[in-house]
C-alpha cells in the first residue's frame, strides 16, 4: 500500500481559483476523511486524485511515483461515485467484473473474483440482476465491489452515502469501516457531513471555503481540540465567549465583559497567547452543566434565563440568555426518566463548566 501526496497543487475552474498551492499527505492504509462545506474544493481534490481533472500546477505522488500526468485509466486508483454510475445495460456481475474484463482476465478467474467480492459486500446471488432493480443501498454496494475488485492502491469515495436514509447510512458507515479494516487499503472519503466523517475515519482533514486545509488529525483531536473558530464551529456545535487573556503565576484566566473572570486551561501554549490579547473561549454545549440550584466544585459559573428548549430524545438542548446578553447552548443527556430537576422556559439557571474543558482560539 502506498501513501498519496499532493504537492503544491493549484486548480482553477471557470476562472475561479479553487485550490491554491495545496499540500496534503494522506497516510497509507488508513480511512481518511476530507470534510468541508459545499464548494470548498474537496470534490476537486478527489477528481484530481482519480485523474478526472488535471492540475494547473503542482504534482501528485502515489508512493514514490509521480502520477500527475498519468491518464485516468492507467492509475491504480478507483472511485465510488456519488451517484454510483453503475452501467445500466450490464448486469451486476458484469458491472463488478468490468475492470477485469478490460484486463482480459480469464473467465474462470473473473467468476471466482466476482463471487468473492459480492460475498464481501453481502450481495451473493445478485449476479444476474440489473442495476435498475436494485435499491440505493444495494447499488452502492455493487459500486463498491466494482471499484475494489482490481485491488487498487487507493479507493476514493465521493459522498457515497448522500442518497441514503439515516438508518441505512449508519449501517453502511459501519460496513465501510469494517471493510477498510479488513483490506487495510487507503480509503479517501469526501463528505460535507461531519457525522459521517467523525464516525468512520481514522484521520481527517477539514477544509474551509477558500480551499485551504484548516486542520489535519484524528477525529477526536479535531473535535476536542479544534485549532480555529471555523473548525470548532463546523464540527459539532460550540459556544464562543469573547474575552481578554490574563496570565498570573502560570494560571490562565479570561476576563469577559459583564460576566467576570473565567478560569481556563490550555494544553499547548501558543505564540499568540500573550497577556492582554483578545481571544475566544470555546466551550462545547455538552461540557456545560445546567442546574436550577447552585452547585459546588466547578471552576466556572454563569447565570442566565432559559429561552429555548429543544428535545432531541437522547438529549435536550437549552438556549440560555446570560446576564450580559450572550446566548449559550447547553446539551444535557436525558439520563433519567424522572429527573430530579425539571428545567422549563424562563427558568433562572446556573451554568457550570470546568477550566480543562475549554479551547482557547485566536481572535
Partner 1 sequence: MKMLTRLITDELPFFLACPALLWQVVFLYIPFFVLAIYSICDYSAVTGTYFLTGSYYSDIIHSLCFKIILRSFFVAILIAAICFIIAYPVAYYLAVKSGRRYKTLLLFTLILPSWTNLIVQTYAWFFLLGKNGMISVLLQRIGLISPSFHLLNNYFSIIVGMVSCYLPFMILPIYAVLEKMDKQYLEASADLGADRFETFRRIVFPLSLPGVYAGLLLVFIPSFGEFAIPSLLGGSKYAFWGSVIVDKFLKSRDWRSGAALAFIGVMFPIMVMGLTYVLLRGKKIVQRYRQSHHDGLNGNGSAKEFWG
Residues lying near partner 1 in the complex (CB under 8 A): 50-52, 71-74, 77-79, 81, 83, 85, 87-91, 93-94, 97-99, 101-104, 107, 111, 127-128, 130, 146-147, 150
Nearer to partner 1 among residue 94 and residue 170 (C-beta): 94
Cβ atoms of 242 and 280 within 8 Å: the answer is yes
Cβ atoms of 1 and 29 within 8 Å: the answer is yes
Nearer to partner 1 among residue 150 and residue 233 (C-beta): 150
Neighbouring-strand partners of residue 62: 4, 65
Q: How far is the CB of 54 from partner 1 (least distance, A)?
A: 13
Q: How far is the CB of 132 from partner 1 (least distance, A)?
A: 12
Sheet strands side by side (includes 251-256): 260-264, 251-256, 239-248, 278-283, 358-362
259's grid cell? 460576566
Q: How far is the CB of 152 from partner 1 (least distance, A)?
A: 9
Cβ atoms of 318 and 311 within 8 Å: the answer is no
Nearer to partner 1 among residue 77 and residue 326 (C-beta): 77
Q: How far is the CB of 119 from partner 1 (least distance, A)?
A: 16
In the chain, alpha helices (H): 42-50, 92-102, 107-120, 136-148, 166-183, 194-200, 219-224, 229-234
Nearer to partner 1 among residue 99 and residue 199 (C-beta): 99
Q: How far is the CB of 68 from partner 1 (least distance, A)?
A: 17
Q: How far is the CB of 6 from partner 1 (least distance, A)?
A: 18
Nearer to partner 1 among residue 13 and residue 87 (C-beta): 87
339's grid cell? 429527573
246, HSE (Cβ side, Cα atoms, 13 Å): 10
Nearer to partner 1 among residue 89 and residue 167 (C-beta): 89
Measured between alpha carbons, how far is 26 from 90 in angstroms, rounded to an integer?
Answer: 34
Cβ atoms of 154 and 49 within 8 Å: the answer is yes
Amino acid at each position: 500500500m502506498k501513501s498519496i501526496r499532493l504537492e503544491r497543487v493549484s486548480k482553477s475552474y471557470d476562472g475561479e481559483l479553487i485550490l491554491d498551492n495545496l499540500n496534503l499527505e494522506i497516510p497509507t492504509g488508513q480511512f481518511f476523511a476530507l470534510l468541508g462545506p459545499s464548494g470548498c474544493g474537496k470534490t476537486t481534490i478527489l477528481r484530481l486524485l482519480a485523474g478526472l481533472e488535471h492540475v494547473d500546477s503542482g504534482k501528485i505522488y502515489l508512493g514514490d511515483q509521480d502520477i500527475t500526468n498519468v491518464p485516468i485509466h492507467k492509475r491504480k486508483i478507483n472511485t465510488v461515485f456519488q451517484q454510483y454510475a453503475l452501467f445500466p445495460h450490464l448486469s451486476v456481475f458484469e458491472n463488478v467484473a468490468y475492470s477485469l474484463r478490460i484486463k482480459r482476465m480469464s473467465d474462470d478467474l473473473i467468476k471466482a473474483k466476482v463471487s468473492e467480492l459480492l460475498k464481501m459486500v453481502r450481495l451473493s446471488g445478485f449476479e444476474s440482476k440489473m442495476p435498475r432493480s436494485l435499491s440505493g443501498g444495494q447499488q452502492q454496494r455493487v459500486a463498491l465491489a466494482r471499484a475494489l475488485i482490481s485491488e487498487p492502491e487507493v479507493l476514493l469515495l465521493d459522498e457515497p452515502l448522500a442518497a441514503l436514509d439515516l438508518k441505512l447510512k449508519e449501517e453502511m458507515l459501519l460496513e465501510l469501516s469494517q471493510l477498510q479494516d479488513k483490506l487495510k487499503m487507503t480509503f479517501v472519503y469526501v463528505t460535507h457531513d461531519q457525522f459521517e466523517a467523525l464516525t468512520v475515519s481514522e484521520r481527517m482533514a477539514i477544509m474551509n471555503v477558500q480551499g485551504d486545509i484548516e486542520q489535519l488529525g484524528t477525529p477526536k483531536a479535531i473535535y476536542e481540540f479544534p485549532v480555529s473558530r471555523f473548525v470548532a464551529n463546523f464540527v459539532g456545535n460550540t459556544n464562543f465567549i469573547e474575552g481578554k487573556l490574563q496570565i498570573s503565576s502560570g494560571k490562565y484566566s479570561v476576563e469577559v465583559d459583564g460576566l467576570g473572570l473565567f478560569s481556563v486551561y490550555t494544553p499547548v501554549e501558543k505564540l499568540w497567547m500573550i497577556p492582554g490579547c483578545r481571544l475566544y473561549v470555546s466551550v462545547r454545549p455538552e461540557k456545560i452543566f445546567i442546574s436550577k440550584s447552585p452547585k459546588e466544585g466547578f471552576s466556572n459559573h454563569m447565570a442566565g434565563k432559559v429561552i429555548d428548549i429543544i428535545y432531541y430524545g437522547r438529549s435536550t438542548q437549552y438556549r440560555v440568555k446570560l446576564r450580559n446578553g450572550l446566548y449559550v447552548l447547553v446539551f444535557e443527556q436525558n439520563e433519567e426518566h424522572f429527573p430530579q430537576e425539571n428545567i422549563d422556559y424562563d427558568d433562572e439557571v446556573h451554568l457550570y463548566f470546568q477550566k480543562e474543558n475549554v479551547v482557547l482560539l485566536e481572535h
